[in-house]
Amino acid sequence: MSAHAAVLAASGSINHTWWIVGYVIGIVLVLVVVALVVPILMLARRIGQAAPLINAELVKARDNTAPLAALSTTITYAQTIVPGLARGRARLGG
């Protein structure tokens, strides 16, 4: 084998080695991305499964607190009624 052939054979071997290194780095990067994305997807799935329950509880809370919107009206009526009751009690001697 001539010196030129030996250099070509050696460079082919080196070139082949770099392809293997490139594939290994690529596989490692893909595994790292998968390792980072899978937990995010699992968490998103759990949130998605819990969302209907959360929404149902929020609807219950809205329904249970809806009467509070009328509280200012109740206070206004009470402010009108209480002085009348006080006058009535005073007239009755109480």
The single residue listed with the structure tokens 């001697």 is 93
Average pLDDT over residues 43-64: 95
Q: Which amino acid is at 67?
A: P
Q: Which residues contact 9 (CB under 8 A, 6 or more apart)?
A: 1
**Domain count within the chain:** 1
Range of the domain at 28: 3-92
Quote the pTM value.
Answer: 0.50
What was the pLDDT predicted at 1? 56
Q: What's the chain's length in residues? A: 94
Tokens of 62: 């809205």
- pLDDT level of residue 35 (50, 70, 90 thresholds): very high
d(CA 33, CA 40): 11
What was the pLDDT predicted at 67? 87
d(CA 13, CA 26): 20
